[in-house]
Structure 1
Amino acid sequence: MMDGFLVIDKPKGKTSFDIVADLRKILNERRIGHLGTLDPMATGVLVIAIGRATKLNEFLMIMDKEYDAEIVLGARSDTCDAEGKIDYKPEYIKAIYKEASARKEAEPDLKKVMVALEEFKGVIDQVPPQFSAIKVNGERAYHLARQGLPVRLPSRKVKISDITDIGFRVDEYGYGILLEGMEKPVMLPVVNCKIKCGSGTYIRSIARDLGEKLGCFGFLGGLRRTRVGQFDLERAVKVENVKAETVELIPLDNVLEGWARMDLNRADYDRIMRGQRIKVGGSFPGSYVSGYYEGKLVSILRYDNKLGSLKVYKNL
């Protein structure tokens, strides 16, 4: 029986569920899930929980994430990314170009872009893309959007910790879009940046909203997730390299670093397995306590300060 975490470097074009389905076949294990969806066009860190690790999903879903983003300016997309229907007009991009002079050709105003990006830092209100998995009256938003039905999603609070390593690509180094009736692609300017954010943040929405702030429209041209909590690309493997006989899983304990720990004796272990409280001396910092029996993580507990006891939150 397998228990632990695996970090996959998701390739472009596959859904997160495709990866889960592949791993279920490779590892011959049904209890497999992923911690945070990556869109098909995105690549990078996809954390996989296997066996008892799936019971810890709720604690990992809220971990901060880091991305390398490629934001295309001068066009918009109904999905807010490169896979949607692209709307382009030459006049869109003029909003971020400095005026040409006798000595200098017109060029994008990088300072204007950087000032606009600063406004995204902190806790902000963000409207998710209409092509998203959020449910509207029991129906996925993207199902409604694909039918051409109006989708109104309320804004929600998200946290953007930082936006760094901002760069600009233009002309032949930009992003090419080939539209109907055109023989050559139109090259649009691209903003590259690193984004550190909290759970629930849509990078597609940042791309859309940046374009709107600048008055030129924008969409997400590429995305690579580089970190989820403590799981980064250095620990990632390609799904085709995973073998049941040699796979090395990250132990459950690794994701609970910093938690208070309770080593249970046999009597307390039996009570915990029956869902009963156990009396303890002293107090425990933090909301949760990891319960161990004979060196093995067996339960997630919560401390009740009033009763001086530990109660079962979830047995593993």
Structure 2
Amino acid sequence: MKYVVVEKKVGETPLQALEVFRQTDPTFQDIPLTYAGRLDPMASGKLLILIGDECKYREKYDGLDKEYEFEILLGVTSDTGDILGMTNSDTHIATQDYFEKDLQKITTSLVGSHVLPYPAFSSKTVSGKPLFQYALEGTLDSIEIPTIRIHIYRMEYLSKKTLTHKELIEQVIGKIGLLQAPVDSGKIGADFRKAEIIRQWETLSPQGAEKYTVLKFKAVVSSGTYIRVLAPIIAQRFGTLGMAYSIHRTCIGKYRAVTSFFGFWRKTFT
């Protein structure tokens, strides 16, 4: 066995998901394991784990395409681009009604290549130091945030739902509560600011918004695409702010696009 694909849960880091897999079978206790491709703590879905000698060839798995189903919460933003970030009640913008034909049109317009910045809260390094350290220290202005060229092969709007302010806060805090963050580890950023972020969500002002709009999409994207970077950009196309409300990875492999509406997977890891 060269690899296995596991389902990472919301609240787990990739390393934690790897260790959960290791515990499923005593034969893996002393065998090297590594994961190929990151998945944010608040995201769920398929995670590729390499086994034994295959760990030496991790680089050949770096360029794999991914498929995601994800939701965007409109009208609220955060410093991470997802719910595991510091929000600002002043950034709330009342959302409007969106017609499905307009949603599909805007969604289709996003298909193609884009140059996007890495998330400020990510492990991408600048001068040997991860970006999240600059963000936590408040020194992001002292560096140039690196960018990456990504490709959206296909994207489609799936559905829409609304949440009351109470439902939103309860769901968000419930998800963040699943985060297995160490306490007082001494390492900067190790706790993901969990307690502080929960407190801020608890005090988020509805700013007159009785309901919040959540849009659901499916997208096939190239390696290196951060959905929590893409989510606010999509929201901007709708004339508002937004963040990734949920992210679920549904496929890993090599995708070939024929048109912006059609393509096929040449290889998948299952």
Unaligned stretches of 5+ residues in structure 1: 98-106, 231-253, 257-316
Distance 1:57 1:121 in 2: 29
**Who is 2:125 aligned against?**
135
User: Larger radius of gyration, structure 1 or 2?
Assistant: 1
Is the 2:107–2:157 contact (alpha carbons within 8 Å) kept by the matching residues of 1?
no
Is residue 156 from structure 1 mapped to residue 179 from structure 2 by the alignment? no
Is residue 180 from structure 1 mapped to residue 180 from structure 2 by the alignment? no
Shift of 1:83: 0.8
Distance 1:90 1:140 in 2: 27
Give the letter aligned to residue 230 of structure 2.
I
Give the letter aligned to residue 176 of structure 1.
L
Distance 1:226 1:92 in 2: 31
Distance 1:149 1:175, change over 3 A: farther
**Who is 2:179 aligned against?**
none
Of 224, 235, 246, the match for 1:222: 246
Distance 1:112 1:255, change over 3 A: closer
Is the 1:7–1:48 contact (alpha carbons within 8 Å) kept by the matching residues of 2?
yes
Shift of 1:187: 3.4
Distance 2:153 2:204 in 1: 42
**Who is 1:288 aligned against?**
none
Distance 1:93 1:166 in 2: 22
Unaligned stretches of 5+ residues in structure 2: 170-200, 255-266
TM-score by length of 2: 0.72
**Who is 1:206 aligned against?**
230
Is the 2:165–2:210 contact (alpha carbons within 8 Å) kept by the matching residues of 1?
no
Is the 1:176–1:186 contact (alpha carbons within 8 Å) kept by the matching residues of 2?
no
Matches within 5 A, 1:74-89: 74-89=75-90
Is the 1:73–1:211 contact (alpha carbons within 8 Å) kept by the matching residues of 2?
yes
Shift of 1:175: 6.8
**Who is 1:13 aligned against?**
11
Once the two structures are superposed, residues 198-230 of structure 1 have per-residue CA deviations (whole angstroms, 9 ceiling, x without a partner) of 101111111011122333111001011011117
Distance 1:91 1:66, change over 3 A: closer
Percent identity over the alignment? 26
Distance 1:170 1:85, change over 3 A: same
TM-score by length of 1: 0.62
With a CA cutoff of 8 Å and minimum separation of 6, indicate the structure with the bigger relative contact order. 2
Of 120, 126, 144, the match for 2:116: 126
- Return 54-63 or 33-42, whichever deviates more: 54-63
Give the letter aligned to residue 210 of structure 1.
I
Distance 1:35 1:221, change over 3 A: same
Shift of 1:167: 1.7
Is the 1:82–1:220 contact (alpha carbons within 8 Å) kept by the matching residues of 2?
yes
Distance 1:55 1:87, change over 3 A: same
